[in-house]
């Protein structure tokens, strides 16, 4: 029988508490060697506690960062930990004594990210209605982005950000031009945020996404009884909702001609006429428009009004495509990785050099949007903490331009042929006859190519 003052008695109590109060816990010394690990963690790792005490933590726990916390002295709270094929959530805290780091304690607080999501389910259900109101307000009354959201090291984009600061304070119309995915909307939001109208509504409307027969009522509203199905009491249009603030006309080049005439009148007269209305409604709005269309050519083809063009193109504003600012590719990649990692719970700490080369060579016809989608997909396909070439979409990896300047034309052709044959064989479960038929070659030609390319299977 132990005396309550006995040290061994107290240690037994403490050990029992730790073993039952925490799912998994480990303690390391200043060298990263395990000095304590609880029973539950040992069971999960399938190790003997007595045998692992004194062993370096990296030899016992997959992808452990405990030794790193000891070195940096920085705590890691709610950190994803990939172990045994799943992501868990862990806390890692350095242990200090006399202003020195003498070790660290780590605890798994959720066995997987699903457990964390499950805990949030009730809160999410309670908050869902409020979130709907918040999103509706953001959509109709507030800009979400600022200049800080535009990540760049490009001189061209930095100059555009300075231009935003210079023009934001006025009420002058702005036309933002650029290819799809270059970030036109971010600049529109930023202009509003820096303007004197920032406390007033920011209303966005995609002129190309709304059916032509509904566009007028969306922009200018309608009176009760204006048409079959009209709401009782009518409906306010986007221009009225934006009164005092800013209206962002995205894809303005897709607006039909008859609507261009009505938009021009609103800009000139500063008033709108709701569908079915008798009295015009005065509005005070700043117009920011955006397009990826060649408006000058459309004017020649009489598909866009010249007078409207000059009305909205007071301040020309062109965003260069990503291929013209390659210095932004890697910083944007790192930014998208950081953002997607937080959202998915995956920890990505490195990018393979071959992946970086592919990202830099690709022409990015979809610009920032395409890059973000590629990174998002790569993170989901990555096993471990490093993005490697097998995590990238096939169309990037198979791009022959990657080899220009590195290999001869003959070698590029052989590499491309090798990839195509390999993928075709994989698709047809290594049936050479079916693969040959799919490629439009004879079975004998297939065997010749397999031998030539060292693809004997």
pLDDT at 84 over 80: no
CA–CA gap between residue 289 and residue 248 (Å, rounded): 6
Residue 128 — very low, low, confident or very high, per pLDDT cuts 50/70/90?
Answer: low
**CB half-sphere exposure, 346, CA atoms < 13 A:** 24
pLDDT tens digits, 275-333: 988 889 999 999 999 999 999 999 999 999 999 999 999 988 999 999 999 999 999 99
Residue 429 in tokens: 């479960």
The CATH architecture that domain 155-320 belongs to is: 3-Layer(aba) Sandwich (3.40)
> 331-385: per-residue pLDDT in tens?
999 999 988 888 877 888 899 988 898 898 888 999 999 999 999 988 888 888 8
In CATH terms, 4-110 corresponds, of 2.30.30.170, 3.30.530.20, 3.30.450.20, 3.30.420.40, to 3.30.450.20
Here the tokens at position 279 are 């009295």
Q: How many whole angstroms separate alpha carbon 123 and alpha carbon 397?
A: 42
pLDDT category at 10 given cuts 50, 70, 90 is: low
More confident: 443 or 261: 261
Whose tokens are 């992808």? That residue is: 63
pLDDT digits (tens, 9 = 90+) for 414-426: 766 777 787 788 7
Q: Residue 172 is encoded by which pair of tokens? A: 């002058």
Maximum pairwise Cα distance, the chain: 100
Neighbour-count burial of 315, counting CB atoms closer than 10 A to its CB (0-12 exposed, 13-18 middle, 19+ buried): middle
- Are the CB atoms for 260 and 146 separated by under 8 Å? no
Torsion of CA 49, 50, 53, 58, to 10 degrees: -50
Q: Are 374 and 387 in contact (CB under 8 A)?
A: no
DSSP 180-235: TTS-HHHHHHHHHHHSTTTTS-EEEEETTTS-HHHHHHHHHEE-TTSSTTPPTT-E
DSSP-based three-state secondary structure for 65 = coil
- DSSP letter string over 396-436? HHT-GGGGBTTB-HHHHHHHHHHHHHHHHHHHTTT-HHHHH
Half-sphere exposure of 25 toward its Cβ, with a 13 Å CA cutoff? 15
How many other CB atoms sit within 10 Å of the CB of residue 32? 21
Tokens of 169: 């304070």
Q: Mean pLDDT over residues 217-238, rounded? A: 84
pLDDT band per the 50, 70, 90 thresholds, residue 122: very low
Among the residue ranges 97-106, 144-153, 437-446, the one predicted with the least confidence is 437-446
Give 112's pLDDT tier (boundaries 50, 70, 90).
low
CATH code at 323-398: 1.10.8.60
pLDDT at 107 over 70: yes
Sheet architecture: strand order including 286-291: 202-206, 246-250, 286-291, 174-177, 315-318
Alpha-carbon span 439 to 451, nearest angstrom: 17
Quick one: which H or E segment has residue 81?
A: strand 76-83
**409-453 maps to which CATH number?**
1.10.10
In the prediction, which pLDDT does 201 show? 93
How does residue 1 score in pLDDT terms, banded at 50, 70 and 90?
Answer: very low
Q: Is 97 helix (H, G, I), strand (E, B) or coil?
A: strand
pLDDT band at 434 (very low <50, low <70, confident <90, very high): confident
Burial class (CB in 10 A: 0-12, 13-18, 19+), 22: middle
Within a 13 Å sphere around the CA of 63, how many CA atoms are in the beta-carbon half? Answer: 20
CB 185 within 8 A of CB 339: no
């Amino acid at each position: 029988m132990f005396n309550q003052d006995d040290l061994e008695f107290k240690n037994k109590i403490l050990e029992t508490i730790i073993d039952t109060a925490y799912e998994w816990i480990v303690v390391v010394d200043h060298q990263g060697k395990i000095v304590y690990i609880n029973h539950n963690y040992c069971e999960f790792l399938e190790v003997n506690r007595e045998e692992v005490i004194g062993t370096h933590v990296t030899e016992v726990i997959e992808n452990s960062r405990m030794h790193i916390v000891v070195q940096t002295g920085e705590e890691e709270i709610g950190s994803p930990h990939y172990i045994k094929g799943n992501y868990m959530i862990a806390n890692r805290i350095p242990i200090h004594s006399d202003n020195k780091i003498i070790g660290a304690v780590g605890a798994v607080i959720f066995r997987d990210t699903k457990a964390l999501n499950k805990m949030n389910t009730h809160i999410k259900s309670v908050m869902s209605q409020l979130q709907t109101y918040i999103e509706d307000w953001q959509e109709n009354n507030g800009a979400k982005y600022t200049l800080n959201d535009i990540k760049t090291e490009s001189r061209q984009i930095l100059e555009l950000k300075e231009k935003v600061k210079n023009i934001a304070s006025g009420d002058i119309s702005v036309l933002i031009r650029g290819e799809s995915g270059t970030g036109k909307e971010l600049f529109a939001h930023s202009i509003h945020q820096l303007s004197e109208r920032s406390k007033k509504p920011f209303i966005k409307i995609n002129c190309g996404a709304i059916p032509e027969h509904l566009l007028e009522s969306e922009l200018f509203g309608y009176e009760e009884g204006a048409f079959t199905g009209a709401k009782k009491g009518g409906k306010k249009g986007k221009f009225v909702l934006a009164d005092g603030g800013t209206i962002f006309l995205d894809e303005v080049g897709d607006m039909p001609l008859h609507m261009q005439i009505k938009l021009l009148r609103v800009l000139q007269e500063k008033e709108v006429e709701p569908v079915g209305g008798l009295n015009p409604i005065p509005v005070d709005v700043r117009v920011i428009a955006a397009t990826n269309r060649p408006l000058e050519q459309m004017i020649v083809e009489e598909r866009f009004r010249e007078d409207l063009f000059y009305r909205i193109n007071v301040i020309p504003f062109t965003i260069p495509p990503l291929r013209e600012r390659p210095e932004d590719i890697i910083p944007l990649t790192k930014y998208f990785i950081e953002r997607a990692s937080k959202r998915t719970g995956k920890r990505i700490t490195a990018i393979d050099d071959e992946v970086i080369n592919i990202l830099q060579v690709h022409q990015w016809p979809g610009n920032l949007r395409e890059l973000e989608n590629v990174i998002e997909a790569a993170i989901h396909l990555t096993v471990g903490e490093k993005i490697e070439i097998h995590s990238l979409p096939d169309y990037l990896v198979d791009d022959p331009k990657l080899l220009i300047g590195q290999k001869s034309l003959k070698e590029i052709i052989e590499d491309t042929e090798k990839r195509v044959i390999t993928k075709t064989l994989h698709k047809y479960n290594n049936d050479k006859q079916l693969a040959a038929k799919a490629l439009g070659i004879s079975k004998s030609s297939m065997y010749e190519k397999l031998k030539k390319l060292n693809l004997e299977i």
